[in-house]
Amino acid sequence: MKKVFAYIVALSFFNVAYAQEKSPVSVTMNKVKLEFMVDQAGQPAYALFYNQKPALKKSFLGFSLADDSTFYKGFKLIGTAKKQVDENWKPVWGEVSTIRNHYEELTVHLQQQSGLQRKLDIIFRVFEDGVGFRYEFPKQENLNYFIVTDEHTEFTLTGDHKSFWIPGDYDSNEYIYTTSKISGIDNQPVVNAATDIAVRTAPDRYSVQTPLMLKSDDGLYINIHEAALLNYPAMQLHADRGTYKLTASLVPDAVGNKAYLNAPCHTPWRTIILSDKATDILSSKLILNLNDPSLIENTSWIKPMKFVGVWWEMQIGKSTWSYAKNRDDKDADGKLIPSGLHGANTQNVKRYIDFAAKNNIQAVLVEGWNTGWEDWFGNWKENVFDFVTPYPDFDIKGISDYAAAKGIKMIMHNETSGSATNYERQLDTAYRLMNKYGYPAVKTGYVGKIIPRGEHHDGQWMVQHYARVAQKAADHLVMLDAHEPNRPTGLQRTYPNWMASESGRGNEYNAFSTGNPPAHETILPFTRLMGGPMDYTPGIFKLKGYAPGNAGRQLHTTLAKQLALYVTLYSPLQMAADLPENYEAHPDAFQFISDVAVDWDDTKILEAEPGDYLTIARKAKGTGDWFLGAITNENRRTTSLNLNFLEKGKSYDATIYMDAPNADWKTNPEAYQLKKMKVTSSTKLNLKLAAGGGAALSIKLSK
């Protein structure tokens, strides 16, 4: 009874407030309508409609500043401006070759009516598939340098929607997703259970991360995130479980402030993508469109690629990052005594190079190549790595020469252990080393508590750090794959060399923890990947018994699903994560990984439901060949494919990599079968996906 009463009160308040106002300003783009209003207390607010039905109820806007805790009221609307944009642009790489940017923009000019009479603008861009808005602080006499202590942006849901969330953690996105109603959000048990995550900081138990995927009872899909996050902390959302109101919650800095700004300036875009079709959420380009064009003029050196790596073997405990067992294992000369388990030794690296060269894999990543791994983690230690000194058994020159002779590129690894200050001091020497030995890409890592101490992975200082690293990499013509940064917000448009991030729970958790549940990869595209490519590291073929001393450990997918992930989880840097010997045991299946593209002319989201299933077809850039991936969650499933996206009148050779009839993620994950057939645009196929299964198709133009 209490709950119902609360609901009625909220509703009537909403109506009364509306009545007190002048008519709201509104903008409509097809099914999406935005209304903006200022209430009698001078509080700016907005509401969203989809297909004439409320999508977000009246939601207030504004800030607390260090010198004005009520910078969210007392405003008067002093002007508005509108403009329309409809343009096309071409990303350097991506899921499609051309992107349409079509929106109507509303700018509202607000000014406080008392005190310092400060001005605040809010810019709304209304797209066919949602809305982005950001705050702009105009140049003005009474607002120069200032500190944001809180952002009060609201997203007031119309009901107790189903939501796919991870805890609002300042330092990690590497959680399993929870599916619950808004009223059921409580991250505390999730955080407490997540002992496999290195650093957790989640002080608000009712806070969740974005991208937050929501689905209303009447079938409206809503995705809330942000775009172009620079010079500002990441936004998390505090959920009011009674009113279904989500409020921005910014990640604080070491002293509890949120952002240090200097007018004129603006916040990142707050984004709401709306559709009654789940597939539209995945094909939305709203977030990319809200990011700035490339800051890098010459992008010819930026090349999507696949890679293998000396990495999974350390994750599963077969070899080690470190050279000695511990830092005190030293001989009389003070030299480290090798444990014999060091993965990044020259001979082993050459084995990966040989495998890559034979199998159409362009690059090799090597972790654990540089000194410092004996005591790199968990000590909040500042000077962990120097990023230039190889272990004695890693012949950096010999390896580079060997790789170059075989046409293979090396990917550098720079783990920081969270010590960003140390990394910033070494950036020049680190990137000069990459240039010297011809490494075209770097994988960074931030496993550990951040230094500057008190800062967080997702706070303003680190947001700027990641961008500084991307810029430094660009200066040195190096592509970047960042692990453990804040989650992406479409900055790959602005820094196209920042090809991928991890920023989520990757395949690695299957190596060292209880892993990722079968539904995980059906949720990721609706959440983590909304902001940009994820280096998920798919492609595990040995799905059980891979972890020495841990016979029960297994992945929660079939082998065919691992292949499908190359299509369903987009990244222009895509790893084939398993060991060469495991691939060599299944050369027919590995053929798909050899063949699959990492850059695309077109993408068709054929079917999708978060948490359940996903089927995507993509057209490889510049070839006319298509690749298709279909995955399911823990439930087996038959999917009906209509290949009408293929070019009419053309004939294609399809290879179908599918679960064997008796395949099952739990009992029989490695059972797969191949089927080759001719297909055309009129072909229809039924594919049976095992529990935790999937299917992958290569569909090549017949020659």
Q: Is the peptide bond before 452 cis (omega within 30 degrees of 0)?
A: yes
Tell me: does residue 329 bind a copy of itself (CB under 8 A). no
Complex with a copy of itself: residue 461 or 590, whichever CB lies closer? 461
Residues 443 to 472 in contact with a copy of itself, rule: CB under 8 A: 452-455, 461, 464, 468
CA distance 52 to 153: 23
> Interface with a copy of itself by CB under 8 A: which range of 94-102, 335-343, 379-387, 663-671?
379-387
Tell me: does residue 475 bind a copy of itself (CB under 8 A). no
Task: Please state the closest distance from residue 541 (CB atom) to a copy of itself, in A.
Answer: 39
Cross-strand pairs, 534: 501
One residue of 39, 382, 609, 612 binding a copy of itself per CB under 8 A:
382
Please choose which of Ca ion, a copy of itself, none residue 578 contacts, taking the beta carbon within 5 to 8 angstroms, the exact cut-off set by kind: none
> Interface with Ca ion by CB under 5 A: which range of 142-150, 239-247, 499-507, 551-559?
499-507
Cross-strand pairs, 59: 46
Among the listed residues 151, 120, 150, the one whose alpha carbon sits nearest the alpha carbon of residue 136: 120
Q: How many CB atoms lie within 10 A of CB 379?
A: 12
Q: Is the peptide bond before 548 cis (omega within 30 degrees of 0)?
A: no
In the set 95, 104, 508, 670, the catalytic residue is: 508
Complex with a copy of itself: residue 96 or 427, whichever CB lies closer? 427
Cα 203 to the center of its chain, rounded Å: 23
Return the SS3 of 273: strand
Please choose which of Ca ion, a copy of itself, none residue 35 contacts, taking the beta carbon within 5 to 8 angstroms, the exact cut-off set by kind: none
Judging by beta carbons within 10 Å of its beta carbon (0-12, 13-18, 19+), is residue 551 exposed, middle or buried? Answer: exposed
Tell me: does residue 39 bind a copy of itself (CB under 8 A). no
Judging by beta carbons within 10 Å of its beta carbon (0-12, 13-18, 19+), is residue 270 exposed, middle or buried? Answer: buried
Please choose which of Ca ion, a copy of itself, none residue 415 contacts, taking the beta carbon within 5 to 8 angstroms, the exact cut-off set by kind: none
Tell me: does residue 332 bind a copy of itself (CB under 8 A). no
CA distance 235 to 211: 10
Task: Please state the closest distance from residue 183 (CB atom) to a copy of itself, in A.
Answer: 35
Complex with a copy of itself: residue 327 or 678, whichever CB lies closer? 327
Complex with a copy of itself: residue 184 or 454, whichever CB lies closer? 454
R_g of the chain, CA atoms, integer Å? 26
Please choose which of Ca ion, a copy of itself, none residue 535 contacts, taking the beta carbon within 5 to 8 angstroms, the exact cut-off set by kind: none
3-state secondary structure string, 76-117?
EEEEEEEEEEEEEECCCCCCCCCEEEEEEEEEEEEEECCCCC
CA distance 473 to 467: 10
Task: Please state the closest distance from residue 134 (CB atom) to a copy of itself, in A.
Answer: 22
- Confirm if 629 and 564 have CB atoms less than 8 A apart: yes
Please choose which of Ca ion, a copy of itself, none residue 375 contacts, taking the beta carbon within 5 to 8 angstroms, the exact cut-off set by kind: a copy of itself
Complex with a copy of itself: residue 133 or 385, whichever CB lies closer? 385
Task: Please state the closest distance from residue 421 (CB atom) to a copy of itself, in A.
Answer: 7
Task: Please state the closest distance from residue 172 (CB atom) to a copy of itself, in A.
Answer: 18
Q: How many CB atoms lie within 10 A of CB 658?
A: 26
Task: Please state the closest distance from residue 472 (CB atom) to Ca ion, in A.
Answer: 21
Tell me: does residue 140 bind a copy of itself (CB under 8 A). no
> Interface with a copy of itself by CB under 8 A: which range of 149-157, 161-169, 372-380, 520-528?
372-380
> Interface with Ca ion by CB under 5 A: which range of 115-123, 235-243, 497-505, 585-593?
497-505
Residue with the two structure tokens 């500043």: 65
Residues contacting 322, CB < 8 A, separation 6+: 339, 342, 368, 373, 374, 376
- Confirm if 557 and 566 have CB atoms less than 8 A apart: no
Task: Please state the closest distance from residue 575 (CB atom) to Ca ion, in A.
Answer: 13
Please choose which of Ca ion, a copy of itself, none residue 380 contacts, taking the beta carbon within 5 to 8 angstroms, the exact cut-off set by kind: a copy of itself
- To the query of whether residue 95 is one of the catalytic residues in this protein, the response is no
Tell me: does residue 145 bind a copy of itself (CB under 8 A). yes
Complex with a copy of itself: residue 453 or 650, whichever CB lies closer? 453
Tell me: does residue 421 bind a copy of itself (CB under 8 A). yes
Complex with a copy of itself: residue 115 or 378, whichever CB lies closer? 378
Tell me: does residue 138 bind a copy of itself (CB under 8 A). no
> Interface with Ca ion by CB under 5 A: which range of 59-67, 115-123, 141-149, 478-486?
478-486
What one-character-per-residue DSSP string does 620-682 give? ETTT--EEEEEEE-SS-EEEEEE-TTSPTT--EEEEEEEE-TT-BTTTBTT-EEEEEEEE-TT
Task: Please state the closest distance from residue 429 (CB atom) to a copy of itself, in A.
Answer: 9
Residues 309 to 328 in contact with a copy of itself, rule: CB under 8 A: 328
3-state secondary structure string, 160-224?
CCEEEECECCCCCCCCCCEEEEHHHCCCHHHHHHCCCCCCCCCCCCCEECCCEEEECCCCCEEEE
CA distance 31 to 571: 31
Please choose which of Ca ion, a copy of itself, none residue 389 contacts, taking the beta carbon within 5 to 8 angstroms, the exact cut-off set by kind: none
Among the listed residues 156, 155, 84, 79, the one whose alpha carbon sits nearest the alpha carbon of residue 122: 79
Task: Please state the closest distance from residue 371 (CB atom) to a copy of itself, in A.
Answer: 16
- Confirm if 144 and 473 have CB atoms less than 8 A apart: no
Q: Beta strand pairing status for 363-366 and 305-310?
A: parallel
CA distance 430 to 85: 42
Question: Which spans of this chain sit near Ca ion (rule: CB under 5 A)?
Answer: 483, 502
Question: Which spans of this chain sit near a copy of itself (rule: CB under 8 A)?
Answer: 139, 144-145, 147, 253-255, 257, 260, 262, 328, 375, 378-382, 421, 424-425, 427-428, 452-455, 461, 464, 468
> What residues are labeled active site?
508
